Structure 1
Amino acid sequence: MTTTLIRNAQILQHDQLQPADVLLQDGRIHAIGPQLTASADEVIDAHHHFLSSGLVDVHVHLRDPGLTAKETIETGTLAAAHGGFTTIGAMPNVDPVPDTPARVAAMVARNRARAHVHVAQYASITTGRAGDQLVDFAGVRDAGAFAVSNDGSGVQTAETMYQAMCGAARVGLPLAAHVEDDSLTHHGVMNAGPVADKLGLPGIPNVAESAQLARDLMLAEASGVHYHVCHVSTAQSVRLIRDAKRAGIHVTCEVSPHHLLLTDADITQDDPMLKMNPPLRSPRDRAALLAGLLDGTIDMIATDHAPHTAEQKQGSMATAAFGITGLETAFALLYTQLVQPRILTLGQLVKLMSTRPAQLFGLNAGELKVGAPADLALFDLAHPYTIDAQRMVSKGRNSPFIGWHVVGATCLTVVAGNVVYRKEN
């Protein structure tokens, strides 16, 4: 039995930072209090930094197996630890797709053997994440999947989605949807509107997201599934989800940091680092996302961490890959851009990035209390730094936030009582 004592930390109590020591024993939080006197195998001085429950991200692309030039389980989970995340959800767009119980079981075993943080594994909704052949929902659940998703692709056929929702509901699996009607995207590469027109690039209209979402919400009501909407990006989607919640439909949703912090107005030139799906929307959409975050319509923040090789993010938005990284920058960006200007409180940010995703997906995470798993993150809320690609541990350096000045560096990440990341002085 090993014990670790974290001294001189600041923890949130009633949305106020208070001094505390935290004793970890055998992978769990054993005691919390001022100036604990317990002996320990290791004593860590927190230097009065902010100690939080480890962050939880239900939307991460580890690219492993099959796409390991972009990321691996090892590098992706090290990136998670570097950002203060202790639990992540791994999306199924890998090769082979985890679309059978055997493949899901193999993914779960690989994650357990290679990951530096806890990894919850998605199975796909359909075979190969394409077509209309549904997976064995009971089988993939029993093999270790915590949810199902075809992320990266919208389910195009209403009957397929309805039967998928019914199947997932029967076995108690959340269904996380990438909502995108392919017939409405027009091969776009950024948000449809004046900016796309000025740059001469094809645009993706808001209705490509909101039309499929409206369909899915009715199917979710009919099926009773826990329906989770990935990376909400439009004002219309926020309105639809708000109305659906008022109607009692079991819907939750997430927003990505980049949709909270950037708009298509920030795309002043053809820059592939600003290409993601869904795309950066208008300032009006961003305002609606922030309003949805504040009124509880949007339940959580998830990074949609999508690493690519340097070659895949070069050239024009017309040909470059969709997606940006996010695990290593999310907390600091959101603390700097939302908490410091008092748009959110620190407590609200922790709830959105830790407590709520864990609660809503049934993950044993997101709490800083006696008896909870010793999954913790320590953040420096005092000293500014510059986001530097050379300091990233993800294989992907495809971030539009490189060079931004932020506060909130991760100093220490602890998973199951073990230090998995420690900031070098």
Structure 2
Amino acid sequence: MEINFLGGAKEVGRLSIYIKTNKERFLLDYGIDIQEMKIPIRPIPNITAVFLSHAHLDHSGLLPELYKRGYSSGIYANPLTLDLTYMLLYDSLNVQKKKGEAPHFSVHDIRKMEHLDVPMNNKEPIEFKTTTAQLRHAGHVPGASSILLDNNGKRVVFTGDINFSDTSLMKGADTNYTDISAVICESTYHYKNHPPREELAKQLKEKAQETLLNGGTVMLPSFALGRTQEMLLIMQDLGFPVYLDGMGKEATKMILNHPESVYNYKKLKAAFGAARKVKTKSDRSKALKKPSIIITTAGMLNGGPINFYIKKLHKQENCSLIMTGFQVPGTVGHTLMHTGRYVNEGLDIKPKFSIDFMDFSAHCGRDDLLNYLKKVNPEKVFPVHGENTEDFAKELKQMGFNAHAPENGERVNI
């Protein structure tokens, strides 16, 4: 087997991996760098099949372009991942058009992708000429999977984005596989651990209660997929109204159509049912009249209804904004978190409400990643989807692993 790293090596974003066997050509993910709109190296034509680990655009955002360039087979992925991917792709296309950017694909290309997709359930193998493919639960967001390819005994695992810890929304990743020739693993946080989830949830509730009892509004900018649903579960029992705004509404509906995708399905269904869905500008104004919790997109403040709430509440000292996800440098959220200033859409203001960050990461931390590699004990390790992966590979070598941090465009044989 030959592995060609097309994107996501020594960087986060635009992840794509091309795997060649004697008889097949497989593409694993085909994403885009959201901030800089950088794309992966384009794969060689005549792809046998494309596998998608999860819906996030840094893994899925360029898939329709394959159809624009003549790909005529399917995208193999978890059924929920496919649903969520289409939601994000259509939204991405609309955002690009609003910005006046030339899109890489059209609505027609997305529809062709939808028509040809191949839903795969976890642990159900699919046979090709010489290769068996299988998905495993990855614990990152609902629907996320690791991809296992077995070619005549050569077994390669691509973790995708992965989380081994249980949360209120999901169980940790399934790692029950053996005799692995190579692991291509995400390494986003190879350098640090995350705080215990239960401790974070407790801190979040305490901060929210403090704001609410002081007559203020709690703003929770959240990623539509995964974080919105986790916030719903954590905030549901505080005794104050919970408002749900933005794309998280649609994402939650899709997730609830796949009960197997989450751990606390009944609790999530109840929390979603109890939440007040914001549909109009009038609804948004109502949400601000009494102390309440507002869960809304966008998680990094780049667009979405969160900007309406910030503009309305920036003079209110008794309110709070709590960011629960990583803020990419260059985003509105990153600027606010590091300077205390909200700089967006011609505004440059210093909000009076409190600003907090809590590390509710959906990626594995350092210790969990190392424990995973020790358990699986692959013959080779290729860390991707991270910065300073060369340093991490050196550490892994010192621990006895045959590790190598690849470059984009590099090919390796196993």
Above 0.5 in TM-score? no
- Using the size of structure 2 for normalisation, the TM-score is 0.26
